[in-house]
Amino acid sequence: MTENQRPSVKCPTCSRFVEWDPDNPWRPFCSERCKMVDLGSWANGDRYIPGDPAEGPWSEDSSDY
């Protein structure tokens, strides 16, 4: 890789290779569409970070409503 060449990464949504460019507003995604598809997956619960649910005022176990 030369000094001016940027590394390529796979878009997490569509697996298309995209240049890792600071000017890319959707980085690491290749497009706004892929970014929104990924966000929708998180919002639907299709993607999540495994582990025990967090405790807090939003918790179903809390009686402080």
pLDDT digits (tens, 9 = 90+) for 6-33: 899 999 999 999 999 999 999 999 999 9
Biggest alpha carbon–alpha carbon distance for the chain: 59
Residue ranges and CATH numbers for the domains of the chain are 8-44 (3.30.50.10)
Q: What is the DSSP letter of 43?
A: H
- What b/e sequence results for 9-34 when a residue is b if at least 16 CB atoms lie within 10 Å of its CB, and e otherwise? eebebeeeebeeeeeeeeeebbbeeb
Residue 43 is predicted with a pLDDT of 94
Which pLDDT value is given to residue 46?
A: 93
CA distance 60 to 35: 30
| Distance of alpha carbon 62 from the chain centroid | 29
What confidence score (pLDDT) does residue 26 get?
A: 94
The 10s digit of each residue's pLDDT in 26-58 is 999 999 999 999 999 999 999 988 998 777 776
pTM above 0.75, yes or no: no
